[in-house]
Every structure is written in C-alpha cells, then in structure tokens.
Amino acid sequence: MPPSTPPNQSERREFLKKACCVALGGALGAVPVASGVAFYLDPLLRAGGDSKGVKVRVTTLDALPNDGTPHRFPILASRTDAWTKTPESAIGSVYMMRTADPQKPVKAFSVICPHAGCFVDYVPTLPNYEPAQAGFLCPCHNSTFKITGEIAGTGSPSPRGLDELACTIENGNEVWLQFQNFQAGTSERVPLGS
Amino acid sequence: MIKPLLDWLDHRTGYRKITHEALYENVPGGSRWRYVWGSTLTFALVIQIITGVFLWMAYSPSSQTGWESVYYIQDQMFLGWFVRGLHHFTAQAMIVLLVLHLMQVLIDGAYKAPRELNFFTGLILLLLVLGLSLTGYLLPWDQKGYWATRVVTNLAGIVPIVGDSLRRVVVGGNDFGHQTLTRFFALHAGVLPGGILALIVGHIYLFRRHGITPAEPRMKPDAAFWPDQVLKDAVACLAVLAAVLFLVLYNHGAELGAPADASVPFPAARPEWYFLSIYQFLKYFPGKTEIIGALIIPGMIFGFLFLMPFVGKWKLGHRFNVGFCCSLLVGAVFLSYLAKNEDHHNEHYQLAVEQSDTDAARVRVLAMSPTGIPPAGAVSLLADDPYTQGPRLFAQNCASCHRFGGTDALGSKLDESKELASDLKGFASREWLGGLLNPATVDSPHYFGATKFKDGPMVKFVHEDVKGFTPDQAAKLQKVLAAISAEASLPAQKAADTRDAAIIAEGRQLIKTEITCEDCHQFHEPNPDATAPDLTGYGSTEWLTAFLNDPGHPRFYGPDNDKMPAFGKQKRLNDHDIEMLAKWLRGDWYVPEAKP
C-alpha cells in the first residue's frame, strides 16, 4: 500500500488522542523521576541532628601551657556516617589555651575558619600586622585572627571572628567542651546540626 | 513570541524535520497492538536509567559498604525501597518484554532480509541486557547474589585455555572482594548501559530505515506513527508500569538478604528466575561434561539465532525458525518448572530459604540497633549474634546428644528415642529446674534418663527425698529453685527475679540448711566435699562458658563427666563460639525495644 495521507478523522478526535498521549507520557515519566528526586532529597527530610553539639572531655588542665599558647586537640566522639556507626573517632579539632581569668581558665576556638571553612593555623607572628603578635592565619584566603579570636586587621576576609566553644572544668582538672560547627560565610554564628 | 524563538531554534538545529520524521513514520496497515513491544522495552530502559542513576547516588561498591549502602537505601532513605523496587522489577519486566519482542519479530518475519543487521543488533542487545541482570544481581552483596554469582564466574573459569585468566579478570583477583564489586558496578552502570544506548540508536535507525514489517493481512489503510501508534505504545507502557508498580508495592520493594559471608554456607542460593532453566540444564552434565551444558550448547543455540535470517529465506526455513524458538521457549519453561518443582519437594532447601529469610530480617534488626553497623561492615552483626549463631552451633556440636525443644534448634525434629542427654530449651530457668527436681521427669530422656547419671545421686535424691517431701518442704524446694535459677540472671526471668527477691534470699539460706544441696554441690562458699557441679552462678554466661570449656573440671562433673566433650579444652570450639552458645542457651541477645 502506498504511504497514506493523514486519515480523514475529525480534528476533535485527533486532538483527544494527542492529548492522551501527552498525558500518558507525562505520567509514565513522572513515576521514576518524581520518586527518584524525592529519594535524592532524602538529606533534607532528615532531622539535622543536635545543633547544640556534643559534650566531650578533651584534655586535662596540665596539658595546656601556662603561658597561654594555644594547643590543638582532636575531638573524639561517636559518629554516625549514613549507615556506619563509629564508636570513638576524630570528628574535628579545637585550639585551646589557658587564660588569666580564674573564673574561666580555659578558652577554646573552633579550627574552622568562619570565612569559607578551611582549617586555620596558629602562627607565632601574624603576617603584615602591626604590632607584631601571635594569632591565627587561614591558609586559604589569608583571614587573620588575633589570639583572642577577633578579626585581625581590615584586610581579613572573614565575616566574623573565630567561633569560641564553651569549656568547663570538671572533676578538678578535666577540660570538657561543647563541640559544634557553625555555618561559614555569615557574620552571625549559625550552629550546624551534627 | 514563541514562534520566532522556535524558528530561531529550528534554523540552527533542524528539529522540526527530525520531529516530523520521527512522528510521521508510515505504519503500513495502520497502528496495531502487536507493534508495541519495542516501545515498551525502550520505556523500561528509560526507567532503568533514571532509577539507576538515582540509586547510583547512594550506592557504595565495596565489600564493606555494598550491602550496607543498599540496606541504607532500602530501610533508611526516603522512598529508597520504592526506587530500588522499581529498578529491580523493571529489570524482570525487561526480560519478559525482550522475549515478547523477539517472538513478535520472529513470527512477523521481521528478522529476514533486508533487516538482518537490525536482528543482529537486537540479539546483541538481548545479551547486554542479560549482562545487566547478571552484574546487577551481585551489587547488593547479599548472600544470594554472592553465592549465585560465584557460580557464574566459576563457569567462566571452565572456558578452555583462557578460562582461569578470564575468571580472574572478571572477579578482579582470585576471590570475590572489593575489586569484584567495583568491576561489576562499572560494567553495570557504565559499560553495558553505554553499549546498549549505542546499539539502540543503531537498532532504531535501522528499524526506521526499513520500516515496520506489516503483519498480513492488513486490516486498515496506512497511518502515521503519531498519534495512533504512539497512543497504543503509551497504553502498553502504562500496563507495564502498572504491573511493575503492583510488584513493587506487593513485595515492598526488592529483597535484601543477609550480607555476603564466605564462611557461611548458603544452600538457598538460586539464580534469578530467568536463569533457572540454564541452572537446571547444568544438573544433567556430570563431571567434566559441564562445559557442554554451560557453554557449548547455549553457544550453539545462540549461534543459530544469528543464522536465522539466512535460514528464513526459504518458506520452510522460516517455519523452522519459528518452531525452533517456540520449542526453545517451551523447553526453558519446562526446565524452570523442573527446577522449581525439585526445590518445592526439597525439605532441605525449604529450611534453607526459611533460614535465609530469618537471617535477612535479623541482620536488619541488628543494623537498626543502637550499636548499628560497625566501620568494618555488617558481616560481623550476624557472626556476633547469639540468636543467629547459637542454633547453628548447637545443631552442629550438641544435637548429637542434646535436644532443644525436641529439635536440633534449627527446626529439624530429632528422633525422640535416640535422646542421650538433656533437652536444653529453657536451661536454668525455674521451669527447667522444676522438671529436673520432679520425680516424674528427672530420669526421663528429657533430663538424665539416657545418661549415666540415671542412677546417680541426684536422681536418687529426687526419687527418694523429694518424693517424700511434705507440702511445707515442697514449698521450700520451690524457693530453692527460684534461688538457683536466679544465679543465671536470665534475661527472660529478670522481672520475676526482681519481684521475688525476698523468696530468692530465703531460698539461698535453705540451700545451706534444710534442702541439703550442699551435701554434693558447692554454693558460694568453698566446699571440698562437692562432687557435683558448682551451683554458684549456675547458668550464668561465665558458668556456661566454663562448663562448655571443660565439663570434666572439678568445678563441674570432675571425673564423673559422662560423654560431654571439653569443647574449649579440646579446641573443638573457639572462645567466640562458646560464648555465642552460652549466651544463646541463656536467651541473651539483642531484642529491639517495642515501639510505643
């Protein structure tokens, strides 16, 4: 048979057929796509965890130098990573130092730069900063912080100073810390869920 | 507004011509239902690609994370079971659709000249899809996929000359492990789908080049592909999707067995249903003839499929082709039936399937427990679970003499007359001890009846003293039982032990005074005259572990020990297994807290 000319059917009927095709096609595609997208968005449906962080015992008072030099400590805590539960592993780090204040003998800073989330270094001399002093330097975009955690100098790209973490002294000389992470890039401190 | 934009686009892409060609393909004799199979297959493949890519975002191919990530997809992630189920059952549907498509092509003669090349690409596509099934089966890294796939890779090993090298390359080493999964995953998600997409483009191009092979007689005038045939295709796709959705919802997604463990036998291993025929076929090739059933005959059959376009040039040849494929199909169905039927009557297999279901459910309970999955993976969950290991160890090491509720603890009933030592179900519980101190049962085969203690001092005591107890003494004996049973701190008796603390304290005193246990047994204080097992901590994990280690130790039966082997001392069982057995006998295992 030769190729036919479009069959002579009412336009209405043709339109209905085409509309059915489009609707069916949409429905057929929607099932895998919609369920897949919902599945992919699973992290948004999960509770963000405890934004107050976890309380951990970090060290003892005598492990901190008396002159106030910051010391870096790993934070060991149990951790759930998707399906894996790790009983005790490093979940982050903090800088800790002694202070002259007898009410609050230890101060702690998160090592995470509030600018873009890199790991800040302790440096005995802050570069290009007068008067010469020790402080924290971020190796990524050169954010600088004084030993007190405040932003050092107008050139520091960080929107806020280093995030201080609450410490307590318990049982005489144990240093305990409320460990948590904060959102980077904001001038306000916004806690992140664990 | 839109028209100039579309004109602009058309000028640069020529999409209107392509769309027109795609939609207004001539369908000789008008649209028909029998032409839908190719489209349904394309639709199924699209579902597989979409769901596959989403699953890819959560799957982690390694022997320590494969099962774990699939468990996470299945039980933890939102709609994970649904997406995985869709992927799993659409894969099954594809096999059915492939057969239907092939049969339609065959019956309508669409494989004959000038469409040979199209037929060949179709056959290769069939092989690639089977390859997808095969590689996908292993990815969850559960017992079923693991053991079934080992069979397949071992079959690769029997290929002459290159067999062993081929097997090692496929497996990524000598044995299954991380590299097996990374390789299978790359094949499953990269190489095979890539090959399929490339071939499908060629397949559809050739199909369009030669047009539909009309099924005679033509009932209606020719028509365009759009919209009549498209509508029929869409309805058929909807039917496929409905069937798949039914299976997904009915089964709550795809199955996930216990994590693969090379040290745990898995008699329930079977290939997917569409490989059952070849699985059954292999049973008929003993010893060194396996290669005939596994490679030569299937190879020849497939080789013949490639020759069909040439055989089909003759009228009789075409009929032969159709007849050949129909009998092949009937043969495959028959062989699959034989395989199913054999399993149906195989009690051993039924038990294995039951066991595998129990393990699969149990490991997921453990994965969801507060301890969860350790960094080394989920395989230790069942290995360190007394509930799982206890019955196996008991059946293997204890059931030759002991019973557990009349069975070997794995569900096989044992011959009552052959009982040689006590039935240990409920060991150290008040009920169990009650039976031991009951004159009617103490020398039954349930307790000492078939051992050399049948005429021993304990049986004598029960028969002579206990039998003559006044009601007051009998009531005191019950208190003693509660006290001895409390030594075990059985998890199931925790509430009763707490409630009866006063009775237990009284019972402890009675052991030393009126009920003369201490004549033979030691109880909390050193007793040099003791000849029978120590009752201090009787039935506790420590007591049971020590007892299993060496029942002939002076603390227990000493030289009076009957036939009980010293499982630890003689190195018949290691410490881990003894601990599993001891905990299991005590009913001491993880139980999830009931949801409020």
For the record, the structure tokens of B556 come out as 């227990």
Which of B490, B485, B402, B489 is CA-nearest to residue B446? B402
Tell me whether residue A61 is in a domain. yes
Write out the residue limits of the CATH 1.20.810.10 domain(s) in chain B. Answer: 24-353
Tell me whether residue A49 is in a domain. no
Task: Tell me what pLDDT residue A1 has.
Answer: 46
Angle at A162 between CA A159 and CA A166, to 5 degrees: 135
**A72–chain B Cβ distance below 8 A for any pair:** no
Task: Tell me what pLDDT residue B418 has.
Answer: 67
Task: Tell me what pLDDT residue B218 has.
Answer: 83
User: Do A38 and A59 belong together in one domain?
Assistant: no
**A44–chain B Cβ distance below 8 A for any pair:** no
User: Do A21 and A94 belong together in one domain?
Assistant: no
Band of pLDDT at residue A48, cut at 50, 70 and 90: low
Helix intervals (H) in B513-569: 541-549
Angle at A161 between CA A159 and CA A166, to 5 degrees: 135
Helix intervals (H) in A41-134: 42-45
When CB atoms are compared, the residue of A3, A24, A39 closest to B26 is: A3
Chain B nearest C-alpha distance from A97 (Å): 33
Question: The complex's ipTM?
Answer: 0.88
Helix, strand or coil for residue A106?
Answer: strand
Name the one residue in this structure whose structure tokens are 């001890």: B433
pLDDT reading at A194 higher than 60: no
Name the one residue in this structure whose structure tokens are 């009915």: B250
The DSSP 8-state label assigned to residue B346 in this structure reads -
CB atoms within 10 A of CB A16: 13
User: Do A28 and A105 belong together in one domain?
Assistant: no
**A170–chain B Cβ distance below 8 A for any pair:** no
User: Do A67 and A17 belong together in one domain?
Assistant: no
Dist CA B560 CA B456 (whole Å): 10
The answer to whether B578 touches B545, Cβ cutoff 8 Å, is yes
A83 to B72: CB separation less than 8 angstroms, yes or no: yes
B234 to A28: CB separation less than 8 angstroms, yes or no: yes
What's the pLDDT tens digit per position in B548-590?
Answer: 999 999 999 988 888 899 999 999 999 999 999 999 999 999 9
**A27–chain B Cβ distance below 8 A for any pair:** yes
B374 to A83: CB separation less than 8 angstroms, yes or no: no
Q: Which residues of chain A have a CB within 8 Å of the CB of B367?
A: 83
User: Do A32 and A99 belong together in one domain?
Assistant: no
For the record, the structure tokens of B536 come out as 């201090």
Dist CA B237 CA B578 (whole Å): 57
Tell me whether residue A6 is in a domain. no
Residues 49..68 of B with a Cβ closer than 8 Å to A: which? 50-51, 53-54, 57-58, 65, 68
User: Do A29 and A77 belong together in one domain?
Assistant: no
Select the more confidently predicted residue: B100 or A10.
B100
What's the pLDDT tens digit per position in B358-386?
Answer: 999 999 999 999 999 999 999 999 999 99
When CB atoms are compared, the residue of B71, B218, B371 closest to A83 is: B71
Looking at the structure of chain A, the number of domains it has is: 2
* Residue A151, domain extent: 54-179
How far from chain centre, in Å, is Cα B156? 23
Q: Tell me, which fold does domain B24-353 have in CATH?
A: Cytochrome Bc1 Complex; Chain C (1.20.810)
pLDDT reading at A193 higher than 80: no
B51 to A29: CB separation less than 8 angstroms, yes or no: no
User: Do A65 and A36 belong together in one domain?
Assistant: no
pLDDT reading at A161 higher than 60: yes
Tell me whether residue A2 is in a domain. no
Task: Tell me what pLDDT residue B230 has.
Answer: 93
Q: In a 10 Å sphere around its CB, with 0-12 CB exposed, 13-18 middle and 19+ buried, how is residue B355 labelled?
A: buried
pLDDT reading at A6 higher than 60: no
- Which residues lie below 8 Å from residue B129, measured CB to CB, with a gap of 6+? B94, B95, B98, B196
User: Do A105 and A171 belong together in one domain?
Assistant: yes
pLDDT reading at A5 higher than 60: no
User: Do A23 and A84 belong together in one domain?
Assistant: no
Sites in chain B below the pLDDT cut of 70: 416-419, 595-596
% of chain B exceeding 70 in pLDDT: 99
Q: What is the pTM of this model?
A: 0.90
User: Do A115 and A164 belong together in one domain?
Assistant: yes
User: Do A76 and A142 belong together in one domain?
Assistant: yes
Chain A nearest C-alpha distance from B20 (Å): 13
Instruction: Tally A–B CB contacts below 8 A.
Output: 110
Residues 197..256 of B with a Cβ closer than 8 Å to A: which? 218, 221-224, 226-228, 230-231, 234-235, 237-238, 241, 245
Dist CA B135 CA A42 (whole Å): 27
Chain B nearest C-alpha distance from A7 (Å): 7
User: Do A160 and A92 belong together in one domain?
Assistant: yes
B231 to A6: CB separation less than 8 angstroms, yes or no: no
Tell me whether residue A5 is in a domain. no
B231 to A17: CB separation less than 8 angstroms, yes or no: yes
